[in-house]
């Protein structure tokens, strides 16, 4: 890195409103930066983040049911389903019905999908090496420990919020799962 890169703050941490959580804003800005960089690298190679995750999982696991792909790529069912349809039209994946359960579709890479994976993999490996190599030893351990600590705090906050909501709703005789007036289903 050059001196200018090391002295500038790409996260602009001096520009966080007093009422905002420093930890949350920092994590959000870092996430957006990493996601945008990854999306640009994949777009330059004719792919996307969801598509890359699907290519990677099919390369690692071979033929997989859509339900397992959704779990492995950790994205919404609808997003994975749309991307698989596009990938099929582009000839990157093929689908066949399971012989055990005809409702289940199994997906696998086609030769074109394996070729696209081969074009993208070196870039993603270099990105992984750069990012994972940016923190080593004690700094990496501190980063991971800090991330786990924040995640635990978020889980506690969410759980405590749900308990407070339940207690508040119970006092009014309303279940927390019951939508507020005007917010229920329109069907």
Determine contact, residues 65/143, Cβ cutoff 8 Å: no
Q: Answer yes or no: pTM beyond 0.75.
A: no
> Residue 63 sits in a domain of what CATH number?
1.10.10.10
Domain check: are 127 and 147 in the same one?
Answer: no
Determine contact, residues 113/93, Cβ cutoff 8 Å: yes
| Residue 124 or 177, more confident | 124
Confirm whether 169 is domain-assigned: yes
Domain check: are 64 and 26 in the same one?
Answer: yes
Domain check: are 77 and 168 in the same one?
Answer: no
Domain check: are 70 and 83 in the same one?
Answer: yes
* pLDDT tens column, 64-116: 998 999 989 888 889 999 999 999 999 999 998 878 877 888 899 999 999 99
Q: How many domains does the chain have?
A: 2
Main-chain dihedrals φ then ψ at residue 2, nearest 5 degrees:
-85, 170
Q: Give 81-120 as a DSSP string.
A: HHHHHHHHHTTSEEEEE-SS-TTPEEEEE-HHHHHHHHHH
Domain check: are 88 and 102 in the same one?
Answer: yes
Confirm whether 46 is domain-assigned: yes
Q: What is the dihedral of CA 102, 107, 112, 115, to 10 degrees?
A: -160
Q: Which domain holds residue 83?
A: 20-134
CA atoms within a 13 Å half-sphere pointing along the CA-CB vector of 82? 6
Q: How far apart are CA 79 and CA 53, in angstroms?
A: 12
């Amino acid at each position: 890195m050059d001196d200018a890169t090391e002295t500038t703050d790409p996260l602009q941490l001096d520009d966080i409103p007093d009422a905002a959580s420093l930890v949350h804003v920092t994590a959000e800005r870092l996430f957006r930066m990493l996601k945008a960089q990854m999306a640009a690298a994949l777009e330059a190679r004719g792919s996307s983040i969801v598509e890359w995750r699907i290519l990677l999982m099919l390369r690692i696991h071979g033929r997989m049911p859509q339900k397992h792909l959704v779990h492995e790529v950790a994205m919404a069912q609808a997003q994975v389903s749309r991307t698989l349809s596009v990938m099929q039209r582009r000839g990157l994946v093929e689908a066949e019905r399971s012989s055990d359960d005809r409702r289940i579709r199994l997906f696998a890479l086609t030769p074109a999908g394996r070729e696209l994976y081969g074009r993208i993999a070196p870039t993603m490996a270099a990105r992984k090496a750069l990012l994972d190599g940016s923190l080593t030893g004690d700094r990496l351990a501190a980063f991971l420990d800090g991330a786990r600590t924040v995640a635990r705090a978020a889980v506690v906050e969410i759980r405590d919020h749900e308990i407070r909501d339940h207690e508040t709703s119970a006092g009014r005789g309303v279940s927390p799962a019951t939508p507020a007036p005007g917010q229920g289903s329109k069907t």
